Structure 1
């Protein structure tokens, strides 16, 4: 019996030893005016960049961040470089102090019986005045088989943006 308990405790320490904890630097303050533009899509999921930007925009608003009305409009095609430049300039013209953008690295349901959702995004906060990225993070999460990609994305952003 003692050997089983020892093996169990050893297993717990082994699993905890493989866990990685990332620390998030201080987020930009809620005094800034944000503009969220669609993310670049590096996945096989069509239009994932629009979906992630829309979810992030809603989460930021719900957390009390001052977010401009959309400077972009949805299209049924992936954005071009010209689209990104147009949205970037429009955000600056409308008074954004920070532009939130990024990339979608994974946005899919894993194959297999459960079909768990998996999301991975990189987010950047770009300060218009200093012309520098003031905050960035790569965020990843997988969910349970009964969850949607949208739910997992929202939970991911809810944990970071408080």
Structure 2
């Protein structure tokens, strides 16, 4: 616990069932954007897909339909389109979640603050296989992108992937 506080990132997770085989296919869709930053859900999904691939999941498809209005905070229409596309594909798991915070804090230092919740669902029955949440505030001159990568990387490490997380 002290290590998580010292590093600036805390991860809480819930595991249901068995580890996920590394040859599984994953569909990553835009995360629900609960932050006040436009396109935060799409940005988080893009980072997540890249990190999953980097950790050895070779069968990851990112479903990001074109954004109709990039200044909208509500991405529910685009997200639903992505979920429909993902379900019509041959995927074993659907990876989604929410972005709770994705911004620079106000003040002299303007540190980045990121909060993300992820879940992995079985594509066939929509059963939640794994869920986790993490948040962090960055340091001094750290960028929002770096803070986001750290949060999503911590969550990916916690996922029950055979070749990656455990």
TM-score range (shorter-chain normalised) is 0.7 to 0.9
Alignment pair present for 1:160 and 2:155: yes
Q: Which residue of the partner structure matches residue 8 of structure 1? A: none
Structure 2 residues not aligned, in runs of 5+: 157-164
Offset, 1:160:
3.1
CA distance in 2: counterparts of 1:142 and 1:54, whole angstroms: 20
Contact 2:116–2:152 (8 Å) recurs in 1 = no
Q: How far apart are 1:149 and its partner, in Å?
A: 1.2
Count of matched residue positions in the alignment of Structure 1 and Structure 2: 146
3-state SS in 2 of match to 1:96: coil
Task: Tell me by how many angstroms 1:32 deviates.
Answer: 1.4
Distance in 2, Cα, partners of 1:93 & 1:21: 32
Q: Deviation of residue 21 (structure 1)?
A: 7.5
Unpaired runs of 5+ in structure 1? 1-14
1:150 lines up with 2:142 in the alignment: no
Q: CA deviation at 1:129?
A: 2.1
For the pair shown, the structure with the greater C-alpha radius of gyration is 1
Alpha-carbon distance, 1:110 to partner: 1.0
Structure 1 residues 106 and 68, CA gap change in structure 2 (3 angstroms): same
User: How large is the Cα RMSD of the aligned pairs?
Assistant: 2.4
More helix by share: 1
Measured against aligned partners, the alpha-carbon deviations of 1:60-83 in whole angstroms (never above 9, x if no partner) come to 111111344332224124555443
TM-score by length of structure 1 reads 0.78
31, 41, 52: which one pairs with 1:49?
A: 41
Question: 136, 150, 154: which is aligned to 1:141?
Answer: 136
**Aligned twin of 2:91:** 96
What CA distance in whole angstroms lies between the structure 2 residues aligned with 1:30 and 1:95?
16
Question: Is 2:124 the counterpart of 1:132?
Answer: no
The normalised TM-score by structure 2 is 0.76
Q: For 1:1-162, what aligned pairs fall within 5 Å after superposition?
A: 22=12, 25=15, 28-75=20-67, 76=70, 77-78=72-73, 80-161=75-156, 162=165
